[in-house]
Amino acid sequence: MNDSAGSKPKFVYVTYIRTTAEKLWRALIEPEFTRQYWAGTWQESDWKPGSSWQIMIPDGRVADAGEIIEFEPHKRLALTWRNEFKPELKAEGFSRLTYELEQQGDMVKLTLTHEAPTPESKFLDAVSSGWPAILSSLKSLLETGESLEATRKWPKGM
Amino acid sequence: MPEFKPKTVFTPKTVYVTYIAASPEKVWQALTDPAFTRQYFAGFNVDVEPRTGGAFFLRYPDGRVHISGKVVDWSPPRRFACTWLVEGVENFGELPECLVTYEIEPAGGSVRLTMTESHSWDVPPAILAGGQSGWPAILSSLKSVLETGKPLGIDMKPPEGFVDAVKRAVSAKPWRREAGD
């Protein structure tokens, strides 16, 4: 859902996943998980506040890069995020992404908030259409052992 | 199929998208068959006349009506839209009806389900928050039912300030001013 009440709009997406906060946390950051549901990509970082962070495309390019802001295992992860492979999106500068995890019985409420880098943001449009597919696939992976087919590989020609 | 046109103009306010490993027919069934909705939709049984212009209800397990409306678009297995009027909850019945639209599209071996909640008046954020907190829970559970056979036991509570916002709106009736009365 896009909420444009402030000067910089943001995309907020909530999903509930039958899993533990520990397992979901690993699935959000470890390459063996992200490769399955996040278009074949993986992240590189030592996951300490202030450290650099990047998303790697299977062909060796960097998709996105930024810096870790908050790292509170199983609860909250915040980082800055700039697109690196599309010049018009890179030019918008750094967005801010936050994951919040809340264990509720045998499931976890996952809230993703992606704040746009600029008031009028093509970057936000792009991630707003991407996140529901990626997070739906993450939920399928954790609940059924299989991610959604369409999210397993980096799209040809992108 | 001819579309049933409501007189009111509805503007999309809340959109939720989820991708489900199931066929469009199965997702359609999950939205329109009470054997499915009672599992993931807070226990409510859908009761819908399967035609554009038909009657639509969400009923409590004992048969009382929670939501009533009209089918605005019945196009299986692609598009299901109906108006919603909340009944059986104090005050809520006086709020103008909203429009809920489900679109089902094939998406690379799975299905993209898009839910759009549209309104005819300038709904305050505290009332929109009700749908914004409810839809992710309902549709996450729908996805779990179709993919694993098991719903999620999410405790559905209205967000803080929601009930008061409804009371204020029902008392001030801002939609009357907007309509030019």
Decide if pLDDT at A1 tops 70: no
Whether B154 has its CB under 8 Å from any CB of chain A: the answer is: yes
Mean per-residue pLDDT for A99-124? 97
Which of A3, A4, A10, A14 to mutate to probe the B interface, most B CBs <10 Å?
Answer: A14
Contact assessment for residue B75 and residue B63, using Cβ atoms and an 8 Å cutoff: no
Write down the pLDDT at residue A108: 98
Question: Which one is predicted more confidently, B109 or B148?
Answer: B148
Mean per-residue pLDDT for B24-38? 98
Nearest to A148 among B110, B136, B140 (CB): B110
User: Which 88-147 residues of chain B touch chain A by CB within 8 A?
Assistant: 107-110, 112, 125, 132-133, 136-137, 140-141, 143-144, 147
Fill in the DSSP letter of residue B132: H
Q: In the numeric block, which tokens belong to residue B22?
A: 């199931």
Coil/strand/helix, residue B72: strand
Mean per-residue pLDDT for B154-158? 88
| Pairwise CB contact (< 8 Å): B148 & A105 | no
Determine the Cα angle at B107 with ends A120 and A87, to 5°.
35
Write down the pLDDT at residue A102: 98
Q: In the numeric block, which tokens belong to residue B66?
A: 């929670």
Q: In the numeric block, which tokens belong to residue B173?
A: 């009736």
List, as one string, the DSSP characters of chain A.
Answer: -EE-SSSS-EEEEEEEESS-HHHHHHHHH-HHHHHHHTTT-EEEE---TT-EEEEEPTTS-EEEEEEEEEEETTTEEEEEEEE-S-HHHHTT--EEEEEEEEEETTEEEEEEEEE-SSSS-HHHHHHHHHHHHHHHHHHHHHHHS---GGGSSPPTT-
Q: Give B64-97 pLDDT, tens digit per residue.
A: 999 999 999 999 999 999 999 998 777 788 899 9
Q: What type of residue sits at position B153?
A: G
Q: What is the value of ipTM here, to two decimals?
A: 0.95
- Please give the share of chain B, as a percent, with pLDDT higher than 70: 94
Mean per-residue pLDDT for A51-70? 97
Q: Give A126-138 pLDDT, tens digit per residue.
A: 999 999 999 999 9
Contact assessment for residue B154 and residue A18, using Cβ atoms and an 8 Å cutoff: no
Decide if pLDDT at B7 tops 90: no
Mean per-residue pLDDT for B16-33? 98
Write down the pLDDT at residue B4: 58
Write down the pLDDT at residue B5: 60
